[in-house]
Amino acid sequence: MKSKVALVYCSSYEIDEVRQAVSKGLELIGGARNFVKPGENIVLKVNLLVGEVPEKCVTTHPAVFRAVAELFALEGAILKYGDSPGFGSSHSAAKKSGIADVAEEMSIELADFKEGREVFYEQGIQNKKFFIANGILDSDGVISLPKLKTHALERFTGGIKNQFGCVVG
């Protein structure tokens, strides 16, 4: 099966414009209902590298988090969110970024990214075991909300780099 990708222009982080763009993008690939079932425990995997205000463009923007959360909540998903930031705690990074405020308004809990379990992948070339956050392992699914940005070790970060935050620490 081929991957589906939708690119939708959005000129600002104004919530109504972001909500419309996210909704249109999801509809182009089958809608939120195509990815979750009512009652499933879903983690919104945000990028909280380090707690910064949204204007610094370091973390997932709270408007994007809100728009995605609203659409998946409408489909009956039970949502949590989180990340294992490079610096500080998940809670403090989420608070400074504005994501914790949105989560609190929407009654979305912070998933456990402090503790984890070893996961083995025998076919691994460089690594065969990983210490993955309990919040990820205890969920039915993960929706990655990366922040496209430059990075000291990469030319830019995106969806794959965001998954590094599933590894505790």
Supply 54's token pair. 């949204």
pLDDT band at 4 (very low <50, low <70, confident <90, very high): confident
Determine if the pTM surpasses 0.85.
yes
pLDDT for res 84 = 93
User: Phi/psi of residue 15, each to 5°?
Assistant: -55, -40
pLDDT for res 157 = 67
pLDDT tens figures, 104-155: 999 999 999 999 999 999 998 998 999 999 999 999 999 999 888 776 766 7
Per-residue pLDDT averaged across 3-24, rounded? 95
pLDDT for res 161 = 79
**Nearest Cα residue to 111 out of 82, 79, 132, 139:** 82
DSSP code at position 50 = S
CA 14/CA 20 separation, integer angstroms: 10
pLDDT tens figures, 51-110: 889 998 889 999 999 999 999 999 999 999 999 988 888 999 999 999 999 999 999 999
**Nearest Cα residue to 65 out of 37, 92, 33, 97:** 97
- Asked if residue 49 has pLDDT above 90, the reply is no
